[in-house]
Amino acid sequence: MSEIIKVSPLKKISGELAVPGDKSISHRAAILAGLSDGTCFVENFLPSEDCVNTLRAMGQLSVRYEVEKGTEDHPIDLTIHGCSGELRAPSAELDCGNSGTGMRLLAGVLAAQKFDSVLVGDASLSSRPMDRIIKPLAEMGAQFETKGIKSGCAPLHITGGKLKSITYEMPMASAQVKSAILLAGMFAPDKTTVIQPAINRDHTERLLNSFGVRVKTEGNHISIYGGQKVRSRDLVVPGDISSAAFWIVAAACVPGSRLLIKNVGLNPTRTALLNVLIRMGALIKDHVQHEDGGEPRGNIEIIGRQLKGTEIKPGEVPNLIDEVPILAVAGALAEGKMVIRNAAELRVKETDRIDTTTENLRLMGADVEEFEDGMVITGGQTLKGTVLDSHGDHRIAMAFAIAGLLAGDGNTTIKNAACVATSYPTFSQHLKEICNR
Ligand code: S3P
């Protein structure tokens, strides 16, 4: 994977594209298939560093798997032999790399095991808050010690054991926190309920149900009863709409563009980006073709137009949280103001994405006002190509590679771009294909 991405402005984006498997679903597939009572064939797993780390962690916990397509480092199709919930103590630390999802979801499972374990991550992950999962999981009975440089951060030492069921009101709309509690709740004796302040991605609920573990959602209350068996099943992971987002925005912003994204996940808790772009004036049609594992999927057609700025509604934020950097690029190119507020969660992602997005947009000549919980972009400027830094954040690297394509003049270089491998290992190849059409 190249350390640097170089792009030149492109007149329009056209053709067809299929993006790799969904990151959120791949993490959960590795965990649930690994806990299941039989053999699961998982197709179109995301062969990225984040998901491979979760798969390897399950391997260290005694789950066996074989790579059927792809390589050990980039598995695409897998046979996973579930351990019927009987994980075994790992002989070493479990390395989650850059992945908050991997660490927080695994912590939920490990909180309920009879053995101790240690979760570690890279410098970025070791500075992200883990107290948000420690609090509820400790309330359920697990013990945690954080040994990081920053308080409340990884390395995370977990002493698991018998848990009790709880009702927990989450202070933030986080799917990772909700999932950690639901996964732990599977091992607790009674009913565990998570109350979420707003709807956020519901892959854990959908996949648990499709693996035979009943999860009930009533408004913002999500409940699971312990003692249920995870039933093995085969699963095809849909393409990741958060990866598709880069191309969707690129095509939507440029009049004359026409793009078809095939076989992408269309779970409504992930498609807020499409609604916002349509409100901005884009011509976008999504067609759900079928469901697998409770996850709808299909195609998205995008026709480019001159967009207008809009205000993101508070309830939309959790359902487009990973798309904010690329949406901010769309805002800079749109006419009028783009208001992105109520998004303070962005400050605790792989980088502080309010800072890194603002910095890079300004370097390209955009007019951005930064707030504690977001940004306001006054659009209509022509972006200028320049040298930018991803700061090691995959979504910043890709969002600004696209900004470089959409720049009015000048070439753009993204430094520190190897991080795209955490979620979209074929990004540079797809970029080349799009540019050569
Ligand atoms: C994810 C949830 C989101 C998202 C992340 C993946 C998941 O994080 O930003 O990329 O798979 O559950 P939060 O739950 O912290 O909002």
Q: pLDDT confidence of 381, banded at 50, 70, 90?
A: confident
Closest ligand 1 atom number to CA of residue 177: 14
CA of 388 to the centre of ligand 1 (A): 25
98-124 pLDDT, tens digit each: 999 999 999 999 999 999 999 999 999
Tell me: do 242 and 182 sit in the same domain: no
Last residue within a domain, chosen from 183, 212, 236? 236
Tell me: do 34 and 80 sit in the same domain: yes
Tell me: do 155 and 213 sit in the same domain: yes
Rounded to whole angstroms, how far apart are CA atoms 152 and 144?
10
Rounded to whole angstroms, how far apart are CA atoms 149 and 172?
24
Last residue within a domain, chosen from 209, 236, 263? 236
Tell me: do 215 and 242 sit in the same domain: no
CB 326 within 8 A of CB 276: no
Rounded to whole angstroms, how far apart are CA atoms 286 and 397?
26
Q: pLDDT confidence of 147, banded at 50, 70, 90?
A: confident
Tell me: do 8 and 27 sit in the same domain: no
CA of 174 to the centre of ligand 1 (A): 6
**Position 350 in a domain:** yes
Residues above pLDDT 70, as percent of the chain: 100
Tell me: do 165 and 185 sit in the same domain: yes
Task: Record the tokens describing residue 80, joined without a space.
Answer: 């996973």
Rounded to whole angstroms, how far apart are CA atoms 269 and 275?
11
Residue 172's CATH number: 3.65.10.10
Catalytic pick from 202, 240, 322, 393?
Answer: 322
Mean pLDDT of 400-423: 97
**Position 273 in a domain:** no
- For residue 72, give every residue at least 6 positions away whose Cβ sits within 8 Å of its Cβ, in sequence order, or none: none
The pick from 24, 172, 324, 395 for probing ligand 1's pocket by mutation, whose C-beta has the most ligand atoms within 8 angstroms, reads 24
Question: Which residue's CA is minimally distant from atom 5 of ligand 1?
Answer: 101
CA of 159 to the centre of ligand 1 (A): 24
85-88 long-range contacts, CB within 8 A, separation 24+: 85/35, 85/37, 85/187, 85/229, 85/230, 86/62, 87/34, 87/35, 87/61, 87/62, 87/63, 87/113, 88/61, 88/62, 88/115
**Position 392 in a domain:** yes
- For the cut 80, the answer to whether the pLDDT of residue 331 exceeds it is yes
**Position 409 in a domain:** yes
**Position 366 in a domain:** yes
Rounded to whole angstroms, how far apart are CA atoms 151 and 326?
31
**Position 372 in a domain:** yes
List, chain by chain if needed, residues with CB within 6 Å of any ligand 1 atom: 24, 100-101, 174-176, 179, 201, 321-322, 345
Q: How much is the pTM?
A: 0.98
Tell me: do 390 and 374 sit in the same domain: yes
199-221 pLDDT, tens digit each: 999 999 999 999 999 999 999 99
Last residue within a domain, chosen from 196, 212, 236? 236
CA of 241 to the centre of ligand 1 (A): 13
Tell me: do 328 and 355 sit in the same domain: yes
**Position 270 in a domain:** no
Q: pLDDT confidence of 437, banded at 50, 70, 90?
A: confident
Residues above pLDDT 90, as percent of the chain: 98
Mean pLDDT of 290-312: 97
pLDDT, mean over the chain: 97
The pick from 130, 174, 181, 320 for probing ligand 1's pocket by mutation, whose C-beta has the most ligand atoms within 8 angstroms, reads 174
Q: How far apart are the first and last CA of the chain?
A: 22
Tell me: do 150 and 82 sit in the same domain: yes
- For the cut 80, the answer to whether the pLDDT of residue 1 exceeds it is no
Tell me: do 213 and 165 sit in the same domain: yes
What is the per-residue pLDDT for 2?
Answer: 52
Tell me: do 188 and 245 sit in the same domain: no
**Position 147 in a domain:** yes
Question: Which residue's CA is minimally distant from atom 15 of ligand 1?
Answer: 174
41-69 pLDDT, tens digit each: 999 999 999 999 999 999 999 999 999 99
Tell me: do 102 and 245 sit in the same domain: no
Q: Respond yes or no: is residue 116 known to be catalytic.
A: no
Beta bridge partners of 284: 302
66-97 pLDDT, tens digit each: 999 999 999 999 999 999 999 999 999 999 99
Domain count, the chain: 2
CA of 339 to the centre of ligand 1 (A): 22
User: Running DSSP on this structure, what letter comes out for residue 408?
Assistant: S
Domain span at residue 214?
23-236
